[in-house]
Amino acid sequence: MHSPIFVAIDTTDLDRAKAIATRVKPHVGGIKLGLEFFCANGPAGVQTMAHLGLPVFLDLKLHDIPNTVAKAIQALHLLEPAILTVHASGGQAMLEDAKAAAPTGTKVVAVTMLTSLDGDDLRATGVTGDPHEQVLRLTELARASGVDGIVCSGKEVAAAHAAWKEGFFVVPGVRPENVHSGDQKRVVTPRAALDSGASILVIGRPITQADDPDGAARAIEATL
Ligand SMILES: O=c1ccn([C@@H]2O[C@H](COP(=O)(O)O)[C@@H](O)[C@H]2O)c(=O)[nH]1
């Protein structure tokens, strides 16, 4: 069985990205490239990483008017990422158009509430209700819009999965026991996230910032 771990390679340095991916390849199911990598290396950098032979999750978290998001996704067609993110709060029309614009083999997943936010952050943006309610509200919007799944924290994934049995659930904000959570506020362990219904786990710094990334990925894999 493929590992459910997608390693988040957050760096501007293409050589470093290649080196990390090559080292951890035996222990992960894919690589996640986000804004930091994409702004520095562009589509050509993504293609270079794809040649390493692991599925690519392109985490651009697109959020704009429907036409702009659809055109941006069409411009990414050649990359054929395995997974692509948009923000659920872009609304139903944007989500529908994002899915329609994506290559057939690409899963479009909608970010519900960033794992770096908590209830206080939510209230500060004027949203009533707690993270649990917010994630479930946006999960229902994503499901009704025809995208493939959502991004949420491991704290809400069980409830989201219960509400959407066939959905694809991406869980970042994952930390092994005793590993610093950094800027992440809604954190669970890799094992807990999987037990709660995560389809894949996104893990970055606990692997990429470790003295031995290969060993760190192997140790996490052994807990799953
Ligand atoms: O809600 C979200 C959505 C995306 N992310 C991304 O996942 C990784 C997490 O990295 P760590 O180093 O393991 O914290 C990062 O690329 C984020 O952009 C997220 O954390 N939360």
Domains of the chain: total: 1
CA of 12 to the centre of ligand 1 (A): 16
CA of 84 to the centre of ligand 1 (A): 14
Model confidence at 1: pLDDT above 80: no
pLDDT digits (tens, 9 = 90+) for 93-142: 999 999 999 999 999 999 999 999 999 999 999 999 999 999 999 999 99
Report which ligand 1 atom has the smallest distance to the Cα of 153.
1
Residue 10 annotated in ligand binding: yes
The domain in which residue 81 lies consists of 5-222
Name the β-bridge partners of 30.
6
Q: How confident is the model at residue 2 (pLDDT cuts 50, 70, 90)?
A: confident
Residue owning the nearest CA to atom 2 of ligand 1: 114
List the CATH number of the domain containing 25.
Answer: 3.20.20.70
Total-model pTM: 0.97
In the chain, the DSSP E strands lie at 5-8, 30-34, 56-62, 83-87, 107-111, 149-151, 168-171, 200-203
Cα–Cα separations (whole angstroms), residue 12 to 61, 113, 161:
18, 25, 34
Q: What DSSP string runs through 15-40?
A: HHHHHHHHHHGGG-SEEEEEHHHHHH
Residue 191 annotated in ligand binding: no
Residue 115 annotated in ligand binding: yes
What integer is the mean pLDDT of 203-224? 96
Instruction: Give the ipTM of the model, two decimals please.
Output: 0.99
pLDDT digits (tens, 9 = 90+) for 14-68: 999 999 999 999 999 999 999 999 999 999 999 999 999 999 999 999 999 999 9
**Residues framing ligand 1 (Cβ under 6 A):** 8, 10, 34, 59, 111, 114-115, 151, 172-173, 184, 202-205
Q: Rounded distance, CA 87 to CA 89, Å?
A: 5
CA of 170 to the centre of ligand 1 (A): 10
Residue owning the nearest CA to atom 4 of ligand 1: 172
pLDDT digits (tens, 9 = 90+) for 132-177: 999 999 999 999 999 999 999 999 999 999 999 999 999 999 999 9
Tell me phi and psi for residue 30, to 5 degrees. 180, 175
**DSSP-based three-state secondary structure for 124:** helix
